[in-house]
Structure 1
Amino acid sequence: MSKIAVIYWSQTGNTEMMANAIAEGIREAGAECDVLTVPAVSADQAAEYEKLALGCPAMGAEVLEEMDFEPFFTELERRLSGRPVALFGSYGWGDGQWMRDWVQRTQDANANLYQDEGLMINETPDEDGLEQCREFGRGFAKY
């Protein structure tokens, strides 16, 4: 099995675009990468990877998506200690509180968090945003 998994949930396709660009960057850096969607992957399957890049957009009042992603992450949280984890997602409103909360939860789980603020892109990523994602992936591959 590959060493890095990019696992995401996307409603409008924005976070999916980010996930694919991050995976592209990981592969450009010479690492193996699987791109998986929630709910197509279980927390047990995710825990088999050495590194995890997790993506979820801001939903509602700046929270993680509640039907699929939140239960997945809650189950995965206890398995993150010492594991390299990168967080990313898109948003359309607010100021990034969902990401700050998610970063805090990930740090509280003692994960080895890549980039303390995560990667956020407003709405649909343009070419500059996609390049940010590729750079994020290249950096995470070497992390």
Structure 2
Amino acid sequence: MSTVIVVFASMSGNTEEMADAITAGIRAAGIEPVVKEVMDANASELEQYDGIVLGAYTWGDGELPDEFLDFYEEMNGIHLEGRKIAVFGSADSSYPMFGAAVDILTEKLQERGAIKVLEGLKIELNPSADEREECIQYGKSFVESLA
């Protein structure tokens, strides 16, 4: 059976809501993921999993949140060849770069050899009921991609 880790950063709770729904989808598809806030995780842990799902809100004009910076730098030293990945995050369209943290993390994971199996999921601020369902489906689809 495949193993999955979900690592996320959330300031206002929006990205955490997304993480909760995606995790519910992963569970509904039959996998019990390891779920961690980024401050409680080390990038080297990612090497232990078949599936990696990262979540981050976009800070400022298109940057990673501060709490993700050390983890991001640590990713330079890991090897993720063959691991399947997906990235999600809450975003704010009032800024010029909508959800740039999702793109930054996806690019870094792919640099490290990982395989993107789903497009990045970006949701404006907090997820609506329909968007929460979209997150659940995202988690289920991620598990299907591991088969």
Range into which the TM-score falls when normalised by the shorter chain: 0.7 to 0.9
1:124 maps to 126
RMSD of aligned residue pairs (Cα, Å): 1.7
Does the C-alpha gap of structure 1 residues 42 and 64 become closer, same or farther in structure 2, counting only changes over 3 Å? same
The 1:105–1:41 alpha-carbon spacing in structure 2 relative to 1, beyond 3 Å, is closer
Q: CA deviation at 1:113?
A: 0.8
Counterpart for residue 7 of structure 2: 7
Conservation of the 8 A alpha-carbon contact between 1:9 and 1:56: yes
Residue 40 of structure 2 aligns to a residue in which SS? coil
CA distance in 2, matches of 1:59, 1:112: 25
Q: In the alignment, which residue of structure 2 is the partner of 1:84?
A: 84
Instruction: Give 1:120 shift.
Output: 0.4
Identity of aligned residues (%): 34
Amino acid at match of 1:129: E
After the TM superposition, which segments of 4 or more aligned residues of structure 1 sit over 4 Å from their partners?
none
Query: Which of 104, 116, 120 is equivalent to 1:101?
Result: 104
CA contact (8 A) 2:89 2:101 kept: no
Q: Which position in structure 1 is the counterpart of 2:57?
A: 57
Partner of 1:75: 74
Q: Which residue identity is paired with 1:132?
A: E
**TM-score normalised to structure 2 length:** 0.86
Q: Whole-Å Cα distance in 2 between the matches of residues 120 and 42 of structure 1? A: 24
Q: Alpha-carbon deviation of 1:112?
A: 0.7
Secondary structure of the residue aligned to 2:120 is strand
* 5+ residue gaps, structure 1: none
Give the number of the structure whose residues are more often helix, by fraction.
2
TM-score by length of 1: 0.88
